[in-house]
Structure 1
Amino acid sequence: MKRLPPLPALHTFLVTAQCCNFTRAAELLHITQGAVSRQIAGLESHLGYALFQRQARGLSLTAQGRELFPRIQQVFNLIDEAVDQVGTRREALQLKAPTCMMRWLLPRLLQWQKERPDVPVELTTTVQHAVDFRREEFDAAVVYGAAPGPAVASHHLFDEQLTPVCSPQLLAGPVPLNSFADLEQHMLLHPTRDQRDWEAWLKVAGARVSNIGKGQHFDTLDLAMTVASQGTGVAIGDWSLIGEDLSAGRLVMPFDLRVRTGQAYYLVYPERAGTAPQLRELMEWLVAQAAERV
């Protein structure tokens, strides 16, 4: 295989051919004039022919130099183009969210990718409701709880609103579910390992049921909603998160009572990331999507 000439020497030839002056080429390349002269001499030795005619008033290209120049120029233009294209290829935005957000967030991220395939998003789910950008390499996150502090930039998505839900088949079934007292006759499904959500809703409803501690407990809201949609029992869910299930008729609300807990979902990101245009576009889009559910 024929040995190719060194790339630095070809670059030196390209710059020197553009100005036809060793001194000016040395200034542009940030090397000494002697280094330019040695690289050109080495390249000519490698090629076996002269590239420049040394004259009293400067340099001029030989016939071979004039023929080689546009071809070398084309090669370096292709290299520049390749570097630019690879450099502008978008890396995926890293987003973290608690599992309870999946029923709301995942369909919207799929829609985002259809509309903006040039801004990919990689989603990491967790049972945690917070994020520490000092230790976690995420561009943004959805968090649940009280309003975040000043350490991060945040956008309010929606408040938590608890309401019982069940399958349409269970609601229309032989066991009535017309009053709060009727909950005694149904299995209560809990989206957490405790029963605080049902307790909060029943307190506002002014109802007391004896079977609150006898229901099924799940690790995630998603599991509780899935089981409820199969007609197994009545789950307590967050109205803000289960809009898709309600709209599709997989779940229904037996009672028109939604209880705000004082907790909310926020979209947060470190201040240092706030100027990234792709991240800013995604944040604004998600906030607009959340506004449709309020």
Structure 2
Amino acid sequence: MKRLPPLPALHTFWVTAQCCNFTRAAERLHITQGAVSRQIAGLERHLGYPLFVRQARGLSLTEQGREWQQCTQQVFGLVGAAVEQIGRRRQALQLKASTCVMRWLLPRLMQWQRERPDVPVELTTTVANTVDFRREPFDAAVIYAPIAEQPAEAVHLFDERLTPVCAPALLATLRAPADLQHQVLLHPTRDERDWTLWLNAADVRLSTVSQGHHFETLDLAMTVASQGSGVAIGDCALIGEDVKAGRLVMPFERRVPTGMGYYLVSAPGAQPMPELEALMAWLQSQAHSSDQGGAAVLELTDRSPSGASPLPQF
């Protein structure tokens, strides 16, 4: 088997073949023109035939030179792709999500890291529910958007459904929605819209709605509710881990859809890398699994007698 030509000389040939000019090739390679000329001459001696025709106004490729140009294009193209792909694997995927989805997302990302330690994820939290990939350096984001305006190519996680939640110690005092009149209502937003939506759907009028406590985030409202300091309103999917752990219970059967949903999105116009596609598909499967668990709870509570609902389990 004939000895292979030196790789540096092949790379010099590849660059020179693109411009057919020793001077421009030297500029791209950051070496002297004489070094380019010597490497090409040495490669031609090794191969036993010329690769360029030297002309007064520049260079042109010989027939063998054109064949070598195609070969080196493929070889260095593969090398470049490997450098990019392997380099990406070493870098953590950058994910953005609002604080309200943390109670659902964080435990699942921890599980993902246990199952796929080869695909690390760095999570950035924010109070915003949107992302601008043109200005923000994220690979993907969890956004909150109207169901009727689902973003193109977005991965659907779950729709928002509201229900009251409280600490287990308060469950016995909540036999019917009207009993909320005697409880402190915890609002996850300043505008009270979540409680207003649920109470209207339950056909309940309370004189104490505006007298409750208001918080900047859902997470704070849920934390206070778990301490027994009032009754909060939250999304069934987002509070699933708290219900499973026994920190919170859902005292009533009614779940009210808001017309909003949670979605996973990646930068538009670009094919996500395989690692990102795997993460997005896995999170979607986790969301659908959680949603099926919530449906099972609904079926169970719908068959319960009137009065207090049994403790829901996810």
TM-score by length of 1: 0.71
Verify the 8 A CA contact 1:148 1:154 in the aligned structure 2. no
Q: Hey, what does 2:141 align to over in structure 1? A: 141
Q: Hey, what does 2:210 align to over in structure 1? A: 213
TM-superposition CA deviations, 1:195-243 (whole Å, max 9, x none): 1100000000000111000001111111100100000000011111110
**What is the aligned-residue identity percentage?**
60
Verify the 8 A CA contact 1:155 1:266 in the aligned structure 2. yes
SS at match of 1:271: coil
| Structure 2 portions without partners, runs of 5+ | 23-32, 40-44, 49-78, 292-314
**Cα gap change, 1:120/1:252 in structure 2, threshold over 3 Å: closer, same or farther?**
same
- Counterpart amino acid of residue 201 in structure 2: V
SS at match of 1:237: strand
> Which protein is bigger by CA-based radius of gyration?
1
Question: What's the C-alpha RMSD, in Å, of the aligned pairs?
Answer: 3.2
Once the two structures are superposed, the pairs formed by residues 170-181 of structure 1 within 5 Å of their partners are 170-172=170-172, 176-181=173-178
2:293 aligned with 1:287, yes or no? Answer: no
Q: Hey, what does 2:102 align to over in structure 1? A: 102
How much does 1:171 deviate? 1.7
- Counterpart amino acid of residue 202 in structure 1: L
How much does 1:34 deviate? 7.3
CA distance in 2, matches of 1:26, 1:248: 63
How much does 1:274 deviate? 3.1
Verify the 8 A CA contact 2:144 2:262 in the aligned structure 1. yes
SS at match of 1:246: helix
| Structure 1 portions without partners, runs of 5+ | 1-16, 40-53, 58-79
Verify the 8 A CA contact 1:151 1:270 in the aligned structure 2. no
How much does 1:275 deviate? 3.5
CA distance in 2, matches of 1:146, 1:107: 25
**Cα gap change, 1:244/1:25 in structure 2, threshold over 3 Å: closer, same or farther?**
closer
CA distance in 2, matches of 1:96, 1:246: 25
Q: Hey, what does 1:9 align to over in structure 2? A: none
- Counterpart amino acid of residue 119 in structure 1: V
How much does 1:35 deviate? 4.4
SS at match of 2:101: helix
**Higher mean C-alpha deviation, range 261-270 or range 24-33:** 24-33
CA distance in 2, matches of 1:86, 1:108: 25
TM-superposition CA deviations, 1:39-81 (whole Å, max 9, x none): 8xxxxxxxxxxxxxx9xx9xxxxxxxxxxxxxxxxxxxxxx9x
How much does 1:26 deviate? 8.2
Verify the 8 A CA contact 2:266 2:272 in the aligned structure 1. no
CA distance in 2, matches of 1:207, 1:24: 79
Q: Hey, what does 2:187 align to over in structure 1? A: 190
Verify the 8 A CA contact 2:155 2:265 in the aligned structure 1. yes
CA distance in 1, matches of 2:230, 2:252: 15
SS at match of 2:157: strand
Q: Of the candidates 221, 225, 228, which is equivalent to residue 231 of structure 1? A: 228
**Equivalent pairs, count:** 235
CA distance in 1, matches of 2:136, 2:205: 43
CA distance in 2, matches of 1:241, 1:138: 23
CA distance in 1, matches of 2:204, 2:178: 7
**Higher mean C-alpha deviation, range 282-291 or range 272-281:** 272-281
How much does 1:148 deviate? 8.2
Q: Hey, what does 1:167 align to over in structure 2? A: 167
**Cα gap change, 1:179/1:27 in structure 2, threshold over 3 Å: closer, same or farther?**
closer
Verify the 8 A CA contact 2:96 2:126 in the aligned structure 1. yes
How much does 1:153 deviate? 2.4
SS at match of 1:274: coil
TM-superposition CA deviations, 1:113-152 (whole Å, max 9, x none): 1111111111111111111112212111111121486875
- Counterpart amino acid of residue 215 in structure 2: F
Q: Hey, what does 1:123 align to over in structure 2? A: 123
Verify the 8 A CA contact 1:19 1:25 in the aligned structure 2. no
TM-score by length of 2: 0.66
CA distance in 2, matches of 1:239, 1:152: 25
